[in-house]
Amino acid sequence: MLRLGRPDVKPTLRERDWWRDAVIYQVYPRSFADSDGDGTGDLPGVTARLPYLADLGVDGLWLSPFYRSPLADAGYDVADYRDVDPRFGTLADVDTLIARADDLGLAVLVDLVPNHSSDQHPWFQAAVAAGPGSPERARYLFRDGRGATGELPPNNWRSGFGGPGWTRITEPDGRPGQWYLHLFDVHQPDFDWTCPDVRAEFESVLRFWLDRGVAGFRVDVAHGLIKAPGLPDLTRTPEELATLPTHASPFWDQDGVHEVYAAWRRLLESYGPPDRVLCAEAWVSPPERMARYLRPEEMHQGFAFDFLGCRWDATQLRQVIDAELHTMGAVGAPSTWVLSNHDVVRHASRLGTADPGPVTGGIRAGDPQPDRALGLRRARAATLLMLALPGAAYLYQGEELGLPEHTRLPDEVREDPVWVRSEHAHAGRDGCRVPIPWSAQAPGFGFSPTGATWLPQPPEFAEYAADAQDGVPGSTVELYRAALRLRREHRLGRGRLAWVSAMSSEVLAFDTCGVRVMVNLSSETAALPDGWSVICQSGPLESADAVPVDTAVWLAPARTCG
């Protein structure tokens, strides 16, 4: 039974619109905590660590997919939307997890993957078996090929992971047959969202999880469900696309997606109050197009990926923050900040590279290696900036430990389809998915009782282990705990940001909820203003009146004695 909204839970979760300033912690179940010793994280492992999350001070967690899946794309290839993969546990384990989270006042969001299923999904298997023109095929995007014998793909679309976006099947009679679209891996056929079966099925899946007590859904590839009618060729070059709105691609951000989310919103409303939420994973630009997903009758949150991808540059960060607050504010939506997730290089490493922009392709041993100390210093400052901004925020497991990317994974252990389909041009995302270090001295750093880990951990993870930081003043986990506590006390997520002109354009300074925030991105120390005292700092201060380079502080008006 979902307790959100009851008077005995945390103040932020008592409100109907608790999600507007919630901090949600992303759990990647495979790599969070392993309970049974097989080296793969699982749901009982998550449940056992829920007190750690409550103690950290987050409002809830989002679980990346744990559904039945061949794990061709780490679970984003779902074979059964209503069941748990045996590697992760059982439905009873989900119920236990939700009940325990509920006791601790934590909301549980699950991942919904509506753009594509696994090729092992019974619907896809039935579609292949049923033949061209059948109702079973109409649930996916099957088309005849071009060329004299249909030997060419129906159009020129490419997979986001590299390689062609179409694969030809062998028909049940053994002849070469139709092609199916997969915007991602060959094992992830795209649904046809113009088919009523697909819409009805996903509404039923939403109800299945809402009835089990989830507080909402992170919606995978939310901008991809609808394709331009007729599936026209992509006529733009990659260089042109980089400068055009996302919907210049005939498979992204098509207007038809919005009626899907409006229908889901109505469905979710029937479960509240408090609100059950939809969070869009939509890589859409410009921000005005992103805001369309967050209109009052659609989704509640959408990740601010422009913030995640922004360079460590005060002017650019300020522009991104202003654009985000302005465009989301115009539709009454909170901004939803994020710095790391399971698809990008961890921000503690990204910000330690020579060009800390959007690093999504991964880092290999032979590549220039990030500066760990620089990256961590900036990451802690970036986090303090993020947690002071008005709106909601998502954290990715391990970032509260300052965990770096594993940048020297042996190539032979890489599993990400990005690595395979890019023909090794991109390292892929395995480096940010390495099992979490809980305990510096234990085998596998305490990830699993046997010490087994599905990906190897680098030896330096010992320094970042949770138990090595617990209670240690100045440690990253203690910084997160302090920042989350102060954020809640001051209700920073509900604030209004007012920029303060700083001494340098490379110092970001703003006031919100009576707190002044300063982030020094310049190459010199920045003086602290008179009349304010430090209540939270991302790193050591060399003197009481100055903020060091790559450091952020939160300030409160100084109390005067006497």
Residue 327 CB, shortest distance to ligand NOJ, in Å, is: 22
Residue 118 contact among ligand NOJ, Mg ion, none, beta carbon within 5 to 8 Å by kind: none
Q: Which is nearer to Mg ion, 100 or 311 (CB)?
A: 100
Q: Which is nearer to ligand NOJ, 356 or 417 (CB)?
A: 417
Residue 222 CB, shortest distance to ligand NOJ, in Å, is: 10
Q: Which is nearer to ligand NOJ, 209 or 305 (CB)?
A: 305
Residue 343 CB, shortest distance to ligand NOJ, in Å, is: 5
Helix (H, G, I), strand (E, B) or coil at 113: coil
Report how far residue 40's alpha carbon sits from residue 237's, in angstroms, rounded to the nearest whole number.
41
Backbone angles phi, psi at 461, to 5 degrees: -60, -25
Of the residues 102, 190, 220, 298, which is catalytic?
A: 220
SS3 helix, strand, coil % of the chain, rounded to 5? 30, 15, 50
Residue 220 contact among ligand NOJ, Mg ion, none, beta carbon within 5 to 8 Å by kind: ligand NOJ
In the range 68-87, which residues lie near ligand NOJ by CB under 6 A?
73, 76
The residue with its CB nearest to Mg ion is 42
Q: Which is nearer to ligand NOJ, 44 or 224 (CB)?
A: 224
Residue 526 contact among Mg ion, ligand NOJ, none, beta carbon within 5 to 8 Å by kind: none
Report how far residue 95's alpha carbon sits from residue 9's, in angstroms, rounded to the nearest whole number.
19
Q: How many residues bind ligand NOJ (CB under 6 A)?
A: 9
Report how far residue 539's alpha carbon sits from residue 551's, in angstroms, rounded to the nearest whole number.
6
CB-based contact 500:509 (threshold 8 Å): yes
Residue 97 contact among Mg ion, ligand NOJ, none, beta carbon within 5 to 8 Å by kind: none
Q: Which is nearer to Mg ion, 272 or 449 (CB)?
A: 449
Tally Cβ neighbours within 10 Å of residue 173: 7
Q: Is residue 343 a contact point for ligand NOJ (CB under 6 A)?
A: yes
Using CB under 6 A, pick the residue from 85, 119, 220, 275 that binds ligand NOJ.
220
In the range 109-128, which residues lie near ligand NOJ by CB under 6 A?
113
Q: Which is nearer to ligand NOJ, 34 or 281 (CB)?
A: 281
Strands 23-27 and 60-63, how do they pair? parallel
CB-based contact 34:448 (threshold 8 Å): yes
Residue 38 contact among Mg ion, ligand NOJ, none, beta carbon within 5 to 8 Å by kind: Mg ion
Cα 522 → chain centroid: 29
Q: Which is nearer to Mg ion, 38 or 203 (CB)?
A: 38
Report how far residue 162's alpha carbon sits from residue 185's, in angstroms, rounded to the nearest whole number.
9
Residue 192 contact among ligand NOJ, Mg ion, none, beta carbon within 5 to 8 Å by kind: none
Q: Which long-range contacts (CB under 8 A, 24 or more apart) does 307-311 make?
A: 307/337, 307/338, 307/339, 307/386, 308/338, 308/339, 308/340, 308/341, 308/344, 308/347, 308/358, 309/357, 309/358, 310/357, 311/355, 311/356, 311/357
Task: Please give the single-letter amino acid code of residue 285.
Answer: S
Q: Is residue 190 a contact point for ligand NOJ (CB under 6 A)?
A: no
Q: Which is nearer to ligand NOJ, 265 or 342 (CB)?
A: 342
Q: Which is nearer to ligand NOJ, 184 or 454 (CB)?
A: 184
The residue with its CB nearest to ligand NOJ is 76
Residue 419 CB, shortest distance to ligand NOJ, in Å, is: 12
Residue 45 CB, shortest distance to Mg ion, in Å, is: 6
Residue 496 CB, shortest distance to ligand NOJ, in Å, is: 31
Q: How many residues does the chain have?
A: 562
Find the angle CA(416)-CA(417)-CA(422) to the nearest 5 degrees.
115
Q: Is residue 221 a contact point for ligand NOJ (CB under 6 A)?
A: yes
Residue 61 CB, shortest distance to ligand NOJ, in Å, is: 16
Report how far residue 528's alpha carbon sits from residue 544's, in angstroms, rounded to the nearest whole number.
8
Tally Cβ neighbours within 10 Å of residue 162: 17
**281 part of the active site:** yes
Report how far residue 432's alpha carbon sits from residue 64's, in angstroms, rounded to the nearest whole number.
14
Residue 207 CB, shortest distance to ligand NOJ, in Å, is: 22
CB-based contact 472:478 (threshold 8 Å): yes
Q: Where are the alpha helices (DSSP H) in 440-498?
A: 461-464, 466-469, 476-490
Residue 190 contact among Mg ion, ligand NOJ, none, beta carbon within 5 to 8 Å by kind: none
Binding marks (x or -) toward ligand NOJ, 222..261, rule CB under 6 A? ----------------------------------------
Report how far residue 246's alpha carbon sits from residue 284's, in angstroms, rounded to the nearest whole number.
6
338 strand-pairing partners: 394
Residue 81 contact among Mg ion, ligand NOJ, none, beta carbon within 5 to 8 Å by kind: none
Tell me the angle at which helices 372-388 and 476-490 cross, rounded to the nearest 10 degrees: 10
Binding marks (x or -) toward ligand NOJ, 273..292, rule CB under 6 A? --------x-----------
Under the rule (CB under 5 A), what is the footprint of Mg ion?
Answer: 34, 36, 38, 40, 42
CA dihedral sign, ordered 236, 167, 172, 198: negative
**400 part of the active site:** no
Neighbouring residues of 127: CB distance < 8 A, sequence distance ≥ 6:
134, 136, 137, 139, 140, 142
Q: Is residue 193 a contact point for ligand NOJ (CB under 6 A)?
A: no
Of the residues 185, 281, 324, 343, which is catalytic?
A: 281
Residue 25 CB, shortest distance to Mg ion, in Å, is: 20
Using CB under 6 A, pick the residue from 28, 62, 157, 184 that binds ligand NOJ.
184
Neighbouring residues of 406: CB distance < 8 A, sequence distance ≥ 6:
430, 431, 432, 434, 455, 456, 457, 458
- As a whole number of Å, the CA-based R_g of the chain is 24
The answer for 176, left when phi > 0, alpha when psi is -120 to 50, beta otherwise, is: beta
Residue 80 contact among ligand NOJ, Mg ion, none, beta carbon within 5 to 8 Å by kind: none
Q: Which is nearer to ligand NOJ, 4 or 219 (CB)?
A: 219
Q: Applying CB under 6 A, which residues contact ligand NOJ?
A: 73, 76, 113, 184, 220-221, 281, 342-343
**Active-site residue list:** 220, 281
